[in-house]
Amino acid sequence: MKQVQLISRSLRQINNLYKKMLTKELSAFELDHHFEALLMLAIQERPITQNQLAELLQVDKSRVVSIISYLEQRKLIYIERNPADRREHYIHLSPDAVSSIPHIERSVEKINEVAEFGIEHEKLVTFFEVSEMIQQNLLKQAI
């Protein structure tokens, strides 16, 4: 009998190992895997809404509410109501979060170096191209 291989299994294993290493590397920050949200907020040119953050992180809105609550409790973000639309809230990085971004970025670079060790640049480019193609193929079918 032929064994069926799930692409998602390999990707999930990579994801779990990668996040585990980053969490260990960033344990002093107590971010509980939310470093990606901080990095995403840091690269924005202006404050963004909860809905925009959900889209950027590719998670549902209820998950973003949980992430925001966690980061707000740790004083890494603060929320500001949009004066033009009181239903809309902007998310800002706190000064503490801003000062921690360079350390988070260095940690990500360090883990990336470990993950990419011994892999030729061309193969990495191919990996990312193929990953993007798989994502696009699946998105087409999901619509």
Q: Where are the domains of the chain?
A: 7-108
Q: What count of other Cβ atoms lies within 10 Å of the Cβ of residue 31?
A: 21
The SS3 of residue 84 is coil
The alpha carbon of 36 is separated from its chain's Cα centroid by a whole number of angstroms, namely: 3
Which runs of consecutive H residues, i.e. helices, occur in 59-120?
61-73, 95-116
Class of the domain covering 7-108: mainly alpha
Strand order across the 77-82 sheet: 48-49, 85-93, 77-82
Provide mean pLDDT across the span 79-84: 87
Distance CA 104, CA 38 (A): 9
pLDDT reading at 117 higher than 90: yes
Tokens of 99: 């000062």
Biggest CA–CA distance in the chain, Å, is 63
Provide mean pLDDT across the span 61-86: 91
Q: Is the dihedral of CA 63, 69, 74, 77 positive or negative?
A: positive
User: Residue 28: pLDDT band by 50, 70, 90 thresholds?
Assistant: confident
pLDDT reading at 54 higher than 90: yes
